[in-house]
Amino acid sequence: MSSSELISSEQQDLLKELANIGVGNAVTSLSSMLGDQPIDMAVPVVKVTPLQDVPDSFGDPESTVAASFCEADCPALGLVLVFVLPLDAAENMINKMLPEGADDSDEMKRSVLMELGNIITGSYLSALSFMTNLTFNASPPRLGIDMAGAILGTVIAETKTVDDQIILLKTELAIESEGIQGSVLILPDSGSLVTLFEYLGAM
């Protein structure tokens, strides 16, 4: 079964709406953080995909990526949200987000990446709350820098995620006309993907 067959067209449309709302939230927050710089952001790929196919979606699964992730739950369901950037894109974002003359230590760079991940995952979590009328409790963000496959394994191990299907939202940011690509992953707890679609009104 292909990834496009994992969900119905109605469910696909709801995920696109989720992505659009999440993007709108993220643009507002990032623009404010970057001194009201104009930001364009789009989500050209929205799909549910088998877990084992995720590392390949980032290109070379052995390439290094930076990933910020958090757990989010409510009485109805549990999710893990992950924001993944190729390492060169992560370094580019650090340069844009650090004020001129600011501390550029490794600790500060990690802090910037966690804040960026917090903005992006928080924006999508707000979109989920808006569309489902559910209130989620989110954990503090965590950061990993490693090969894509290793990062995904770490996320699964640390969060005990066991569902074998995830939501993949590829993102494209353009800041000062410079393009940056990343991905947002929504990993449901076992059975939570079906529950999520029920709350979205598409089951």
Asked if residue 62 belongs to a domain, the reply is: yes
Distance in angstroms (rounded) separating the CA atoms of residues 56 and 26: 25
The per-residue pLDDT for range 147-203, each reduced to its tens digit, is: 988 888 888 887 777 677 889 998 888 877 677 888 999 998 888 888 999 998 876
Distance in angstroms (rounded) separating the CA atoms of residues 201 and 106: 44
Give the least confident one: 105-109, 130-134, 135-139.
105-109
Answer whether residue 4 shows pLDDT above 60: no
Asked if residue 133 belongs to a domain, the reply is: yes
Asked if residue 96 belongs to a domain, the reply is: yes
Asked if residue 175 belongs to a domain, the reply is: no
Distance in angstroms (rounded) separating the CA atoms of residues 24 and 49: 24
List b or e across 61-92, with b for residues whose CB sees 16 or more CB atoms inside 10 angstroms.
Answer: beeebbbbbbbbbeeebbbbbbbbbbeebbeb
* Average pLDDT for the chain: 85
Cα–Cα distances (Å) from 160 to 65, 71, 150, 154, 187, in that order, read: 21, 10, 15, 10, 10
Q: Looking at residue 59, what DSSP letter applies?
A: S
Record the tokens describing residue 101, joined without a space: 């003359």
The per-residue pLDDT for range 66-106, each reduced to its tens digit, is: 999 999 999 989 999 999 998 888 988 888 888 776 777 88
Neighbour tally for 24: CB within 10 Å: 14
Dihedral angle, C-alpha 3, 70, 163, 73, nearest 10 °: -120
Alpha helix segments (H runs only) across the chain: 9-33, 54-57, 87-97, 106-132, 148-159, 192-200
Range of the domain at 80: 3-165+188-200
Asked if residue 172 belongs to a domain, the reply is: no
Asked if residue 146 belongs to a domain, the reply is: yes
Contacts for 36-40: CB closer than 8 Å, 24+ residues apart:
37/175, 37/176, 38/175, 38/176, 39/173, 39/174, 39/175, 40/173, 40/174
**Residue 27, domain CATH:** 3.40.1550.10
Asked if residue 153 belongs to a domain, the reply is: yes
Q: What is the pLDDT of residue 203?
A: 61
Name the domain count of the chain.
Answer: 1
Tell me the pTM. Answer: 0.88
Instruction: Report the pLDDT averaged over residues 26-40.
Output: 82
Asked if residue 35 belongs to a domain, the reply is: yes
Secondary element (H or E) of residue 185? strand 178-188
